[in-house]
Amino acid sequence: MKIFHNSRCSKSRCGLQILEDSGQNFEIIDYLKNPLSEKEIKDLLKKLDFTPIQLIRKNEAIWKENYKNKTLSDAAIIKAMATYPKLIERPIVIKGDKAVIGRPPENINKLIE
pLDDT of 110 reads 92
Q: Residue 91: what residue type? A: P
This prediction has a pTM of 0.93
What is the per-residue pLDDT across 58-111, written as a single tens digit (0 to 9) for each?
A: 999 999 999 999 999 999 999 999 999 999 999 999 999 999 999 999 999 999
- pLDDT-derived band at 28, boundaries 50, 70, 90: very high
Cα–Cα dist 19/81, whole Å: 25
CATH of the domain at 29: 3.40.30.10
Active-site residue identified among 1, 9, 14, 62: 9
Q: Which distant-in-sequence residues (6+ apart) come within 8 Å of 78 by Cβ?
A: 38, 41, 42, 45, 52
| Range of the structural domain that residue 23 is part of | 2-112
Domains held by the chain: number: 1
- Asked if 9 is an active-site residue, the reply is yes
Q: Which distant-in-sequence residues (6+ apart) come within 8 Å of 6 by Cβ?
A: 12, 30, 31, 32, 90, 91
